[in-house]
Amino acid sequence: MYAITIDHPGGPEVMKWAQQPDPVVAPGHVLLDVAATAVNRADLLQRQGFYPPPPGASDILGLECSGTIAELGEGVTAWSVGEQVCALLAGGGYAERVSVPGSQLMPLPDGVDLLVAASLPEVACTVWSNIVMGAGLSRGEVLLVHGGGSGIGTHAIQVAVALGARVAVTAGSEEKLARCRELGADILVNYRESDFVEQVRTATNGHGADVILDNMGGSYLSRNIDVLASDGRLVVIGMQGGRTGELDLGKLMAKRAHLTSAGLRGRPETGRHGKSDIVADVTARLWPLIAEGAIQPVVSAELPITDAPHAHELLDSPETVGKVILTIPRD
């Protein structure tokens, strides 16, 4: 098969479309003919040498894909050869074929095209597992999303609105904030010009944010605690602003607040908080919201896999809103 290879860490130019060994289908896995994958910030970090795959995972980039089942591994009974699906991966999506645990497959949501479906598994499972399954966001609460124009951000806005929550976002341009407004956010903060703590407090009459979905980490830690409402929940899912920050435990305790951090890629397939449970809950509870049109995939660009270097540049661009899809050519 062909796949994106990386000989050494570096810029987008180190990625090459070249022949690689076909994946082996282990018991409990299925083999997919990949139709499309999507670019995630984790891919950029791995390309640069900063985010190695977890033990046992493919070293090929790609944390999600869509495609057609080509082969079933021993013990797989819930799926059939020829079905079109999308999948949550620990790696391997930038390729013609990938082996996936059967429990990490999802049917295509009704009304979603096969290629567009490649943009859903990573954002859907990340957002749903953190703000719904973990933080328990509920109707009437306020969700603050940092990076509102990202793939995670655009999806989180729609999930929160569908659940009856109010949404605040931060973003670095008026264009991105305008798109966030279209998706349902009504508290819009340009972090280059305004302090999100002051803006969110003012817009909520001093209440603050009940749940914060944070991709920044260290640099926002103290201010996130400041803007949290009483009994608020701060969920850190990224470290774009650094790994360390100052935490005032007194403020945290006074608000009876919860601070959690959660990654998705390194979770076990099964067991407590495993990927299979997340995938099952997403399929049962989130997919119907997509089918009825309450939540829609947000795709900024669709490129062939051979243009992966340009796709990585696009994801890093301040103009890009939502996801970038890479399609896999077929003879």
The reported pLDDT for the residue numbered 316 is 86
How many whole angstroms separate alpha carbon 327 and alpha carbon 261?
Answer: 32
Give the integer Cα–Cα distance in Å for 44 and 184: 29
**Which residues of the chain register pLDDT less than 50?**
none
- What's the pLDDT at 272? 85
CATH architecture for the domain at 2-120+297-327: Alpha-Beta Complex (3.90)
Instruction: Detail the DSSP E strand segments found in 207-298.
Output: 209-214, 228-236, 258-261
Element (DSSP H or E) covering residue 310: helix 308-315
Q: What is the pLDDT of residue 331?
A: 66
| Residue spans per domain, the chain | 2-120+297-327, 124-261
* Cβ count within 10 A of residue 174: 12
Cα(first)–Cα(last) distance of the chain, in Å?
Answer: 12
Q: What is the pLDDT of residue 150?
A: 97
The pLDDT, as a whole number, for residue 330 is 76
Residue pair 56/42 in contact (Cβ under 8 Å)? The answer is no
H/E element, 136: none
**Res 310: pLDDT:** 98
Alpha-carbon gap, residue 144 to 160, rounded angstroms: 10
**Which fold is adopted by the domain 124-261?**
Rossmann fold (3.40.50)
pLDDT on residue 262: 86
Cβ count within 10 A of residue 14: 16
